Amino acid sequence: MIQNKDKVRVRFAPSPTGALHIGGGHTALFNWLFARNSGGTFILRVEDTDLERSTMEYEQTIMDGMKWLGLDWDEGPDKGGDCGPYRQSERLSLYRQYAEQLLIEGKAYSEGNAIVFKVEHGIDSSFDDVVYGRIESLSDGLQKMGTDELKDVVMIKGDGMPTYNYACVIDDHLMKITHVIRGEDHISNTPKQVLIYKALEWTPPKFAHLPMILGKDKKKLSKRHGATSVYDYRDMGYMPESIFNFLALLGWSPGGDKEVFTRDEAVTLFSLERVIRKPSVFDFDKLNHINQAHIKQMPPMERLALVKPFWLAMGLPVQDKSDEYLAEALDLMSGRGQTAKAMAEYSDYFVSFEPVKSRYDASDITNEQMINLRAFFKEILETPEWKHEALEETAKIWSERNNVKLKECAMPLRFALTGMKVSPGIFEIVVLFGREETRRRLEHYKFI
C-alpha cells in the first residue's frame, strides 16, 4: 500500500480518435488498479488536440468501453473536478500562458506562429522509473543524428495546438498527478518532459512505464494479434471480468500460480513493484481459459443473460423457453465453451430441434441397429421415474439383458437429441427435456 493515500492521483489520457482498444484498456486498468489499491484518485483526461480525427462520438465510445471493463473514474469531462477542464481542447489558454512564460524567460523562442522550447546543452534529464529503475539521460541525448545541434521541442504548433510532450507536462502538474503510468513506448518522451519540468521549476511526478505487449510471434501487438476494440471482445462473447483479469496479467502477477481472480482481489494484491519488466505475450489460449473459468463461476441467471443474445443472433426461438429451463440447460454445459458465443453454439439443441435435424439424419443406422434401438428407446420412455439415476439403471439393465454395449444405444440417443458427438451427460439432457420432448425427437428419426 502507498503512504499518504489521499495524495495519490493518476490519470488515463486517451485521444478520442477511435474506440478503446486493448492497449489503451491495459494502460487504463493499471492506473485504475493503482488508484484503487492506494485509495487515490483516478482521472480521465481527454487529449483531443488532433482536431481532424477527434470526435465526441469516439470520446463517448472510450468512456463506454471503460465502463464495460468496470473502470470507473473520479474526475473527468463528464464528472468535473477541482482540476478541470478535463479536455485539452478546453485548456488552450493554460498552454499558451506557460509557453509565453518560458518565452519571456528566454527558455523558448517563436518560430512563425509556433513556440519552441530551447534545449540547452548538458542538462540532466535522467529520471527514476518505478518499473525500470534509473534511466540516465542528458539533454544532449536529444541531438539529431550526425549533427551537433540539439533537437528543440515544439510546445505550441502553428495552428495554436499544444504538442503531446508539452501539454502533458502542464496538465499533469496542474492536475496534481503523482504517478504517470503509461506504456514503455513513452520512455523516450520522458527526458523531453523532464526538461520542461525543470524549466518551469516544477517537480516531476513519479514515472512507471509498462512493458510492451507482444503477439505470440513475439512481434509488437497489432490488430492481427488481437489489438482491437474492447467491444470486439464483447461481441466475441468474452466477459468484461475476463478481459479485466487477462489484461491485469499482462505485465503483472498477483503472486503464486493464481491466474483467475476478481476485480476486488486484483485491487487488494496490486502494486507497481510487482510489474514485470519483460514484454508480455497476448495469448488467446490463456484468455479463453480465463474466460471459461469466469463463465463457470457465474450465477445461472447472469450466465443466461450473457448467452441469450448469441442464441437470438442465431435466430433461435428463445422466447419459447422459460428462463429457468434455459439457465438449467447452461448449467448442464458445465463450462463447455470458452466464450458465451461458443457456449450458445454448443447448446443450440436446448432451444430448438431445428439445428439438430440439420446436423443429423440417422443415415448411419443399419436395419439391425434400428431393431435394437427401438426396443431400447421403448424401455427408456416407459421408465416410471423420470430421473437421471432411474434412466441410467434402466439403460444398464436393458443392455446387459440384451448383450448390447450401452454406448451403441447411448450414442444414437445423443445424436437424436443434440445432433452432436459430444454433449453433457445424455441422461441429464433427457431429464431436462422431459419425456414428451425426448419422445418427439426420437419419433422424428423413427427410433420409436
Do 231 and 65 contact (CB within 8 A), yes or no? yes
User: Hey, how many other C-beta atoms are within 10 angstroms of the C-beta on 59?
Assistant: 20
φ and ψ at 421, to 5 degrees? -80, -30
Instruction: Yes or no: say if 43 and 12 are a contact pair by the CB < 8 Å rule.
Output: yes
Cell of 92: 488552450
Q: Is 119 helix (H, G, I), strand (E, B) or coil?
A: coil
136-162 burial code (b ≥16 CB/10 A, e <16): ebebeebeeeeeeebebbbbbbeeebb
- Grid cell in block for residue 137: 539521460
210 contacts 26 by C-beta, under 8 angstroms: yes
Contact 248, 33 (CB under 8 A): yes
- Catalytic choice (79, 223, 387, 421): 223
Q: Which of 231, 215, 274 is nearest to 33 (CA)?
A: 274
- Helix 388-401 and helix 406-418, axial crossing angle in degrees, nearest 10: 130
Q: Do residues 317 and 352 make contact, with C-beta atoms less than 8 angstroms apart?
A: yes
Q: Which 8-state DSSP code applies to residue 206? A: E
H or E stretch at 134: strand 133-135
Assign 3-state DSSP to the chain and report helix, strand, coil percentages, each to 5: 50, 10, 40
Q: Counting every residue, how long is the chain?
A: 448
Q: How many CB atoms lie within 10 A of CB 338?
A: 21
Q: CB 299: neighbour CB atoms within 10 A?
A: 9
Establish whether 218 is a catalytic residue. Answer: no
Residues known to be catalytic = 223
